[in-house]
Amino acid sequence: MSGAVQGRVHGVGLGPGDPELMSVRADRLVRGAKHVAFFRKAGRNGRSRAIVEGMLREDAVEFPMEYPVTTEIPLSDPRYNAVLSEFYEECTRHLCALTAEGEDVVVLCEGDPFFYGSFMHLHSRLQGTCEVQVVPAITGMSAAWTASGAPITWGDDVLSTVMGTLDEAALTEAMTRADALVVMKIGRNLPKVRRALEASGKLARAVLVEYASMEGQTVQPLADFVGEALPYFSIVVVHGEGRRP
C-alpha cells in the first residue's frame, strides 16, 4: 500500500550470556518487541532465547530460525554453502515480509551481532531491502578474559582472534605472531589447537574459560584440561606480557 509505514529489523546484541550484561537499549527493545526472531539448532531452545527468558511480552510472536542439518556435508563441499545460503534467504524473506506490513522485528543475537555471529549473514541480505539497525554488545571473548581475572593486553601488545577451524599451519603462524590470543570455535579441534599453541610457545600461558558469564562458568589452565573436545561456549585466552609502567 502506497505511503504505508515500513517496519524495521533490529539486530540486538545480548552480550555473552548474563542478562545483566545487556545494554539498556537492548533490554528496552527486547521487552517491547512484538516480533522476536532467533537462531537455534533443531530440537534446541537456543541460547539467545534462553538469555531473554521472562523478558518477552505475553503477546510476542516468536520466529525460531532453525539451522538446516549440514553436519553430514563437509565444509569444503559447495553444497554446504548452498544449503546455508538458502536458509538465510528464507529467513530474510520472512523478516522483510513483516517489515513490509509495518512491523518491527527484534533478532536476538548472542554476543555482538557483527562479531562472528549468524546475524551478519542476514544483515548483508537485508541491506537495500528493508531498514535494519544493529545494537552492539559485550562479546563472549571480553567476558572470557574478564573471568580469567587478568587484563588480556598490556602496552603495545598485539591481540589476535583466531578460529580453531583453521588448518594447523595457519593456526601456528597466527599464534606465533601475536602477543595476546583469543581462540574460538575450538570444539573437536582441541588437539590441533593444543599442538599449535605448543609450537608457538604459548601453551603454558593458555587459559581455558567455559561458559563465560553464564551458569556453569569454569576457568582453568588449558594444560590441566583432560579431553579431546570442548563445549561450544569455550574460549582459550593467552594474556599478553607487554610494556607496563
| pLDDT at residue 78 in the model | 77
Question: In terms of DSSP bridges, do strands 105-109 and 35-40 run parallel, antiparallel, or are they unpaired?
Answer: parallel
- Domain region containing 155: 141-238
Same domain, 122 and 176: no
- List the strands of the sheet with 131-135, edge to edge: 61-66, 35-40, 105-109, 8-13, 131-135
pTM exceeds 0.95, yes or no: no
Based on its alpha-carbon atoms, the radius of gyration of the chain, rounded to whole angstroms, reads: 20
Is residue 231 in some structural domain?
yes
Neighbours of 152 (CB within 10 A): 20
Is residue 209 in some structural domain?
yes
Kindly state the cell numbers that stand for 242: 607487554
Q: State which of 82, 105, 138 marks the end of a domain.
A: 138
Q: State which of 73, 105, 138 marks the end of a domain.
A: 138
Same domain, 112 and 229: no
Same domain, 122 and 226: no
Is residue 3 in some structural domain?
no
CA distance 75 to 138: 29
| pLDDT at residue 75 in the model | 65
Is residue 40 in some structural domain?
yes
Total domains in the chain come to: 2
**pLDDT tens, residue by residue, 162-213:** 999 999 999 999 999 999 999 999 999 999 999 999 999 999 999 999 999 9
Is residue 244 in some structural domain?
no
Is residue 1 in some structural domain?
no
Bridge partners (DSSP) of residue 29 are: none
Same domain, 152 and 130: no
Same domain, 45 and 133: yes
Is residue 32 in some structural domain?
yes
Same domain, 73 and 117: yes
- DSSP assignment string, the chain: -TTPPP-EEEEEE-BSS-GGGS-HHHHHHHHH-SEEEEEE-TTS--HHHHHTTTTS-TTPEEEEEEPP--TTS-TTSHHHHHHHHHHHHHHHHHHHHHHHTT--EEEEESB-TTSS-THHHHHHHHTTTSEEEEE----HHHHHHHHTTS-S--TTPPEEEEETTS-HHHHHHHHHH-SEEEEE--GGGHHHHHHHHHHTT-GGGEEEEESTTSTT-EEEEGGG--SS---SSEEEEE-------
Q: What is the pLDDT along the chain (245 residues), one digit of tens a residue?
A: 445 789 999 999 999 999 999 999 999 999 999 999 999 998 888 999 999 999 999 999 999 999 997 655 666 677 888 989 999 999 999 999 999 999 999 999 999 999 999 999 999 999 989 999 999 999 999 999 999 999 999 999 999 999 999 999 999 999 999 999 999 999 999 999 999 999 999 999 999 999 999 999 999 999 999 999 999 899 999 999 999 99
Same domain, 133 and 25: yes
| pLDDT at residue 59 in the model | 97
Q: Residue 172: which CATH number?
A: 3.30.950.10
Same domain, 232 and 157: yes
Same domain, 13 and 133: yes
Same domain, 111 and 147: no
